[in-house]
C-alpha cells in the first residue's frame, strides 16, 4: 500500500497534547456533575434506526450514519425495490442500525427501556461521541462529543437552580468567565398570546432566536415578512429591548403578560428561580434575557445558554426544561430538564485564552538517562520506587548517546532528568537536572522523591 493513510473527513485523531486539554475539560465537567449527585450512564454507539428516525426532522434523518446489514443483505431486498433505484427506499431495506446522532434521544429510549430499574427522580450524566453526516467545516465535525446532564421525573425548579450552579461551577473551575443567560418559553408563549400570534409561536421563537446574529432591526424585518402586526412588532421590540436588573425585567414582563395563562405561569417560574438564585453567590453573571429563545421545539419551560465574556464564540452550554421527552417512546408526561456542554468550543475558547499549561499536565515528570549495564539496574530500582510513590517516570529504553536521550526529554517537555552513571551508582546518589532552569544537583533517592 503506497497511498498515505488518512481518516474520513470530519473526523479527528487526538494526539497526546490535544487529549490532555480535552480530558481536562471532560474531567472538570464530570467531576462537577458527580458532586451534584448525577450518575454516569453510557448507551451504545449503534442504535436501531427505528429509535433514531423521525426524531430530528427530515434534515436530521438525512444526517444519520446508517450501518449496512451484515451478510448477504441484498438477498433480502425485493426486486421491485431494486428496480426503483431509489436510494432512500433501498437504504431502508439494507440498513437497520445507525450511529447515535445525539445523547438526548438515546437517553429517552434508555429511560423508557429501563424505567423499572431506575430510581426517580433520575439524575444522569453522559459524555460520549455523536455522529452527523454534516458538511464538515471549521469547528464542525462529523464525530464530536456531547456532555449532557438531565434530571427526569421532577417538576421542581430546584433542578433549574442546580443546573445553573453546575454551569457556574464548571466555568469557574476551568477559569473561563462567562455569562449565563436564562429565559422561560412560557414567557415567550405569553408574548405570542398578547400580540395575538399564539399560532405563530414557533415562527416567533425562531426569529427572536436570531437576535444576537441579526440585531433588533433584523428581527423587526423578519417579523414583518412573516406577517406579524405592526402593533405586535412594537410590543415585541419593547420586550426585546428591556433593560435593568433581573428583578426590574421580570416586573416589566409581568406588567405585559400577567393576564395570559401561560405567560403568568412563566413569570411565576422565573420569580421562583430568581428567589433561589439569591441564596447562592454565583461567580459568573446570571441574567434573565427575554431575547433568549432556543430553537428546539421540545423546550417548554426554563431555557439556558452560556457564552464566554472574553472570546467571541457561539454558545458553550445550553439546555432547558421539556415536559414530554419520553413520550416518543410511549411513556407520556414525564418532565425533565437538562443541559449540554460543547466541549470542542470550550477547548477552543481556553486555547484562545491560553488557559492550558502542558508543563503542568499529568504527563511524564522525570526521565532517567539509560547508561546500560549495572547503571541501568541501579536506575531501574530507583525508577520503581519513584513510580510506587505515584510519580510519572520513564527510563529511556536504549543506552544510546546522551545527546539523543536529552533531546527526547526536551521534545517531550519532560521537566526533570535523572543522570545516574557509574559515579552516582558508587556513591548511591542521583544527579537531578532541572530542564527548565538548567541547574543540576546530586541528591539521595529520598530527596529525589520529595523533590519530584
Q: Which of 394, 416, 418, 420 binds a second copy (CB under 8 A)?
A: 394
Q: Interaction with a second copy in 300-319: which residues (CB under 8 A)?
A: none
Hunting for cell 471532560 — which residue is that? 26
Task: Note whether 137 binds a second copy by CB under 8 A.
Answer: no
d(CA 416, CA 393): 10
298 forms part of the interface with a second copy (CB under 8 A): no
Between 359 and 381, name the residue whose CB sits nearer to a second copy: 381
**28 touching a second copy, by CB under 8 A:** no
85 CA to centre of own chain: 40
Does residue 94 touch a second copy according to CB under 8 A? yes
Instruction: Pick the binder of a second copy from 26, 101, 110, 371 (CB under 8 A).
Output: 110
27 lies in the binding site for a second copy (CB under 8 A): no
Count Cα neighbours of 215 within 13 Å in the Cβ-side half-sphere.
1
Report d(CA 287, CA 429) in Å as an integer: 60
Half-sphere exposure of 178 (CA within 13 A, CB side): 32
CB 128 within 8 A of CB 145: yes
Q: Per CB under 8 A, does 15 bind a second copy?
A: yes
Of 155, 136, 113, 124, nearest in space to 38 by CA: 124
Q: Is residue 171 within the footprint of a second copy (CB under 8 A)?
A: no
Nearest to 272 by CA among 250, 305, 248, 294: 250
H/E element holding 124?
strand 122-131
Q: How far apart are CA 216 and CA 221, in angstroms?
A: 9
Q: Which is nearer to a second copy, 90 or 201 (CB)?
A: 90
Query: Is 116 a binder of a second copy (CB under 8 A)?
Result: no
To which H or E segment does residue 224 belong? helix 211-225
Q: Which of 161, 150, 158, 109 is nearest to 337 (CA)?
A: 150
452 belongs to the binding site for a second copy (CB under 8 A)? no
Stretch that binds a second copy, among 39-47, 226-234, 317-325, 434-442 (CB under 8 A): 39-47
Task: Give the one residue of 60, 61, 136, 154 binding a second copy; rule: CB under 8 A.
Answer: 154
Grid cell digits, residue 244: 435593568
Taking residues 352 to 371 in sequence order and writing x for each that binds a second copy by CB under 8 A, - otherwise, the string is ----------xxx--x--x-
Q: Which CB atom, from 217 or from 279, has the smaller least distance to a second copy?
A: 279
Using rule CB under 8 A, residue 118 touches a second copy: yes
When asked if residue 436 is in the footprint of a second copy (CB under 8 A), the reply is: no
Nine-digit cell at 165? 450552579
Q: Are 326 and 111 in contact (CB under 8 A)?
A: yes
Size of the site for a second copy (CB under 8 A): 109
- Sole binder of a second copy in the list 143, 222, 324, 348 (CB under 8 A): 143
Site string for a second copy, 405-424 (x = CB under 8 A): ---x--xx------------
Residue whose entry in the numeric block shows the C-alpha cell 427572536? 208
Q: Smallest distance from the beta carbon of 269 to a second copy, in angstroms?
A: 14
- Tell me the C-alpha distance between 422 and 417, whole Å: 16
- Supply the minimum distance, in Å, between the C-beta of residue 133 and a second copy: 4
Closer by beta carbon to a second copy, 11 or else 179? 11
Q: Supply the DSSP symbol for 392.
A: -
Counting contacts by CB under 8 A, is residue 144 touching a second copy? no
Smallest distance from a second copy to CB 305, Å:
22
Selection from 112, 105, 43, 110 nearest residue 330 by Cα: 112
Q: Residue 231 in contact with residue 195, Cβ under 8 Å?
A: yes
Among positions 91, 179, 226, 440, the unique one binding a second copy when judged by CB under 8 A: 91
CB of 214 to a second copy, least distance (A): 31
Interface residue with a second copy among 258, 309, 352, 377 (CB under 8 A) is: 377
Q: Of residues 320-339, which lie at the interface with a second copy (CB under 8 A)?
A: 328-330
Does position 112 interact with a second copy (CB under 8 A)? The reply is yes
Rounded least distance, CB 251 to a second copy, Å: 22
The string over 97-131, giving b where at least 16 C-beta atoms fall within 10 Å of a residue's C-beta and e elsewhere, is bbbbbbbbbbbbbbbbeebeebeeebbbbbbbebb
Site string for a second copy, 257-296 (x = CB under 8 A): -------------------x--xx----------------
Contact between 62 and a second copy (CB under 8 A)?
yes
Q: Counting contacts by CB under 8 A, is residue 133 touching a second copy? A: yes
Smallest separation, CB 151 to a second copy (Å): 7
**Distance between CA 412 and CA 395 in Å, rounded?**
13
The answer to whether residue 104 forms part of the interface with a second copy (CB under 8 A) is no
Q: Does 173 bind a second copy (CB under 8 A)?
A: no
DSSP 64-120: --EEEPSSSGGGGS-HHHHHHT-HHHHHHHHEEEEE---SHHHHHHHHHHTTTTS-S
Amino acid at each position: 500500500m503506497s497511498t498515505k493513510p488518512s481518516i474520513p473527513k470530519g473526523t479527528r485523531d487526538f494526539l497526546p497534547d490535544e487529549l490532555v486539554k480535552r480530558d481536562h475539560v471532560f474531567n472538570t465537567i464530570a467531576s462537577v456533575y458527580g458532586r451534584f449527585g448525577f450518575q454516569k450512564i453510557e448507551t451504545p454507539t449503534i442504535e436501531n434506526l427505528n429509535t433514531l428516525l423521525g426524531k430530528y426532522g427530515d434534515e436530521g434523518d438525512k444526517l444519520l450514519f446508517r450501518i449496512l446489514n451484515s451478510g448477504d443483505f441484498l438477498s433480502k431486498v425485493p426486486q421491485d425495490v431494486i428496480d426503483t433505484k431509489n436510494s432512500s427506499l433501498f437504504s431502508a431495506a439494507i440498513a437497520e442500525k445507525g450511529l447515535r446522532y445525539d445523547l438526548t434521544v438515546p437517553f429517552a429510549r434508555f429511560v423508557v427501556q429501563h424505567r423499572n430499574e431506575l430510581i426517580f427522580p433520575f439524575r444522569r450524566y453522559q459524555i460520549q461521541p455523536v455522529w452527523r453526516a454534516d458538511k464538515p467545516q471549521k469547528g464542525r465535525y462529523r464525530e464530536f462529543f456531547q456532555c449532557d446532564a438531565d434530571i427526569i421525573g421532577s417538576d421542581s425548579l430546584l433542578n433549574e437552580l442546580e443546573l445553573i450552579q453546575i454551569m457556574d461551577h464548571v466555568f469557574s473551575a476551568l477559569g473561563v468567565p462567562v455569562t449565563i443567560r436564562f429565559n422561560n418559553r412560557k414567557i415567550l408563549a405569553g408574548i405570542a398570546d398578547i400580540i395575538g400570534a399564539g399560532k405563530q409561536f414557533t415562527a416567533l421563537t425562531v426569529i427572536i432566536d436570531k437576535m444576537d446574529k441579526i440585531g433588533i432591526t433584523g428581527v423587526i424585518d423578519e417579523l414583518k415578512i412573516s406577517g406579524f402586526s405592526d402593533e405586535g412588532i412594537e410590543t415585541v421590540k419593547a420586550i426585546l429591548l428591556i433593560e435593568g436588573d433581573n428583578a426590574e425585567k421580570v416586573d416589566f414582563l409581568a406588567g405585559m403578560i400577567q393576564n395570559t395563562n401561560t405567560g403568568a405561569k412563566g413569570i411565576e417560574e422565573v420569580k421562583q428561580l430568581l428567589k433561589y438564585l439569591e441564596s447562592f453567590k454565583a461567580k459568573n453573571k446570571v441574567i434573565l434575557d427575554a431575547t433568549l429563545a432556543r430553537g428546539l421545539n421540545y423546550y417548554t419551560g426554563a431555557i439556558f445558554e452560556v457564552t464566554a465574556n472574553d472570546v467571541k464564540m457561539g454558545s458553550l452550554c445550553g439546555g432547558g426544561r421539556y415536559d414530554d421527552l419520553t413520550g416518543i417512546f410511549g411513556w407520556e408526561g414525564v418532565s425533565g430538564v437538562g443541559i449540554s456542554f460543547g466541549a470542542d468550543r470550550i477547548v477552543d475558547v481556553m486555547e484562545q485564552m491560553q488557559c492550558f499549561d502542558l508543563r503542568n499536565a499529568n504527563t511524564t515528570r522525570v526521565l532517567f538517562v539509560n547508561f546500560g549495564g549495572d547503571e541501568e539496574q541501579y536506575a531501574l530500582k530507583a525508577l520503581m520506587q519513584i513510580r510506587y510513590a505515584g510519580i510519572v517516570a520513564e527510563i529511556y529504553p536504549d543506552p544510546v548517546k546522551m545527546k539523543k536521550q536529552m533531546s527526547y526529554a526536551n521534545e517531550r517537555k519532560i521537566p526533570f532528568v535523572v543522570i545516574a552513571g557509574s559515579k552516582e551508582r558508587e556513591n548511591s546518589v542521583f544527579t537531578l537536572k532541572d530542564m527548565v532552569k538548567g541547574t543540576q544537583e546530586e541528591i539521595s533517592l529520598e530527596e529525589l522523591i520529595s523533590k519530584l
